[in-house]
Chains A and B, each alone.
Chain A
């Protein structure tokens, strides 16, 4: 009965209810595999590691394979440290697409509807077994660097974050996945998109 109610809530696009279900109070960690599609490369690039949402609100992205790199996103500042090279720091102003990604990601982690609405117009669809939130940047400057954020998930878990840039480049971050082996053999975009939106097994 409860599940039924939830399913209707999702089907009736109630973003608030979904956000409440997805929220994970910090500290929280999850593994991820990120697949990047760039016009410069013939095959997609893959990196995997751990995402950590710290109690102080900072988001730490730790890449463990195929190289080691730590990014601390805190407030408006990004600190990037890679093994074997000097630390680099830059602001989100330099990387608007990152700001968009963070805003959407942060909003989902904390269930912050106001934050979502500040940056995006939101459409929601699908069912409890496979839902999809599409976020279109409202701000023209952000739209130049980020065309769409798409979050695919099932029940109370987000599964994939897909960022599409206007030039066609994109990156897909699969959450709760330990390594490349868990993804489909082919990382063709359609293939991966299908994987992200597959129905959850009940």
Chain B
């Protein structure tokens, strides 16, 4: 092809890539809901668990601590922060313990008689009112008189104060300067509930930023700092650390890769051309996922880009086999059967994930299959037109020749391979230690210090447990509220016996309509109340007529319709009740959050006895889900393996050739699994994905070594290609293996070990036995 034509092709290729990139950029939505990577729920309980893991109040709740200066400054900042975040887009509600009498809108004030439990036991008769008025006289001579006095004419029974107090947590932290403080009195404490679910890292990050911004704006002392704890804060922290570390290691790896390719091919042009198939693969994969699914999960991208790393090897084979006197297109044509076998078998293997029943994995499957196919085809049909025909011939390297001869003269006891395979298989089979890591948190463990700090804050604040949750379900919201209210006394008993620290549910804020109506019916008529009040006033020094506003409010209350869950908009109750009483697909779920649960079994028995109630152990349930998910993935993998063997068998036809090609990767998989297990590593999803990548790489190494067969020049070229491929891959993943974060480490260690093992075994096992050069 003339130089102008080559230039044109290069420009056209890059233009297509740019257009594809632009299209993907415009259309693709990157999602971050982790549930996309969970198996679809099989039972109603599993569905509930999946909803609650991310949506429940425990996972949305952030614990805030303000400290660093004197207590008063911390308290002022706490108040200002609450004011700044009230009604924000990121938070449902934020509380610091200040029961603000003015926070309740005027139209709701008369509802205090329907919401407060006073009328369940008492009647507004002379005796009751007299006792109340007596108390109020004492209040008037107390130091609190100044601010209580103004409420007296309207509310002589202090119903509003009682209501606000009953809304506070049972064991709330101490109040200093009107707001919650830790027991040392130095740290102001707050609780906030994010609108974003705990499973939405992007939403959690937005909330974290909004929080910090608001804090920076309102803090009254520059020495004050804000500490945020809770599942959402941890997920943001760990995600940021993972990204930072992956980026740092990625940059190092890129530099190393560039150096390696320059040393191997001594050509800037080859370096640039080598990137084109991989870039095409990534963009084609993204475009395919975008066209089929619309959104792509962040983890799909991470896994997908890991897996299409195989494609980086494709152009290497072309480059290493290129030498003077060979047209690059002929070179590509000659390599194609081998390359195509590798591409096709890997693609077919990844297809199995399409049927794993996990949406995120199906996306990953589409991404990798499209990506690898495009990388293979461009390497075959586009790249050869651009590769310079006069490259250095790797076959001319004396060093590679000596290396090959050295390897060829090594003894290759077949029994050793069988023995190693049996040994590793035996270790895995017989080991008493569980092979798998079931805890979701094991992937991104939060530093121990932070966990301890979180439990300390949780204890001080009486914040709900993130593990256990009692759920009441019914088609009718009122029935849910009634059940929750009926559970109250039994839960109180558990609190009294120490099995439970405390609890919270919607009926504490919003009684059932029936109960409200009963209280309303218990209100005296206007003339009755007037008579009772004047009788009660006889014995007090209160002036006659002072309590007219009280009489008005009671009369108003006796005509009020009861409040339902839909009547709470723009009241302080909206957020509280909204977080604990939820409507989903026509069903109502009432959540009973638990604090410091010390005896889950007792609570489980309690829940069992109540119709429609269930105690969720989110930790256990999520572990079950992970185990269930793993089973499906393993079945998919088994399917992949069968398909892969079939494709290789069809391509190579001869039984011995098939065995020689498959032996290195099969043995490597066993060896890596055995080594990881014996060194105490529990396997997770990331190890599995990494093993799949390693197997794909191993297959390619073996295919090319097998192809080189007896031709010494081709052997050296193949050795050159596979050396470049495996060294570059090894470098990238060895860097990841150095990471302090288990997610990156598990991928890095597995692939690095797999590459070494695959390279060595492919070199030793793929040549026909007995034939020596």
B543 within 8 A of A: yes
Are B543 and A91 within 8 A (Cβ)?
A: no
Are B541 and A34 within 8 A (Cβ)?
A: no
Across the interface, A36 reaches (CB within 8 A) one of B71, B72, B145, B543, namely: B145
**Chain B CB within 10 Å, residue with most, of A41, A82, A97:** A41
**Interchain pairs with CB closer than 8 A, number:** 92
B265 within 8 A of A: no
Are B140 and A93 within 8 A (Cβ)?
A: no
Q: Which of A11-19, A67-75, A111-119, A151-159 contacts B (4 or more CB under 8 A)?
A: A67-75
Are A94 and B543 within 8 A (Cβ)?
A: no
State in angstroms the CA–CA spacing of A191 and B540 once bound together: 23
Known: A82-B138, A89-B174. A95 touches B144 (CB 8 A): yes
Are B543 and A90 within 8 A (Cβ)?
A: no
Chain B residues within an 8 Å CB radius of A63:
141-142
State in angstroms the CA–CA spacing of A2 and B175 once bound together: 50
A61-86 vs B, Cβ < 8 Å mask (1 yes, 0 no): 10100010101010111101010011
B176 within 8 A of A: yes
A151-182 vs B, Cβ < 8 Å mask (1 yes, 0 no): 00000000000000100010100000000000
Are B542 and A91 within 8 A (Cβ)?
A: no
Across the interface, B178 reaches (CB within 8 A) one of A46, A90, A171, namely: A90
Known: A34-B141, A45-B541, A86-B165. A94 touches B152 (CB 8 A): no
Count residues on chain A whose CB falls below 8 Å from chain B CBs: 40
Known: A80-B142, A94-B147, A95-B143. A41 touches B541 (CB 8 A): yes
A197 within 8 A of B: no
State in angstroms the CA–CA spacing of A97 and B144 once bound together: 10
State in angstroms the CA–CA spacing of A40 and B139 once bound together: 12
State in angstroms the CA–CA spacing of A36 and B149 once bound together: 12
A103 within 8 A of B: no
B547 to chain A, nearest CB (A): 9
Are B146 and A89 within 8 A (Cβ)?
A: no
Known: A41-B542, A93-B178. A88 touches B144 (CB 8 A): yes
B728-764 vs A, Cβ < 8 Å mask (1 yes, 0 no): 0000000000000000000000000000000000000
Are A61 and B143 within 8 A (Cβ)?
A: yes
A107 within 8 A of B: no
Chain B residues within an 8 Å CB radius of A76:
71-72, 75, 176-177
Within 8 A of A (CB), among B23-82: 71-72, 75
Chain B residues within an 8 Å CB radius of A78:
143-144
B546 within 8 A of A: yes
Are B543 and A71 within 8 A (Cβ)?
A: no
Are B541 and A42 within 8 A (Cβ)?
A: yes
Chain B residues within an 8 Å CB radius of A169:
149
A100 to chain B, nearest CB (A): 10
Which 8 A-B residue pairings sit nearest by Cβ, starting from the closest? A91-B177, A91-B178, A47-B141, A43-B541, A89-B175, A41-B541, A97-B146, A95-B146
Q: Can you list 12 A-B pairs, Cβ within 8 angstroms, ordered by A?
A: A40-B140, A40-B153, A41-B540, A61-B143, A80-B144, A82-B142, A85-B135, A90-B144, A93-B177, A96-B146, A165-B146, A169-B149
10 extra A-B contacts, CB within 8 A, seeds A46-B141, A171-B141: A38-B145, A40-B543, A41-B540, A42-B543, A69-B138, A88-B144, A89-B176, A90-B144, A90-B175, A145-B146
Interface of A with B (CB < 8 Å)? 34, 36, 38-43, 45-47, 61, 63, 67, 69, 71, 73, 75-78, 80, 82, 85-86, 88-98, 145, 165, 169, 171
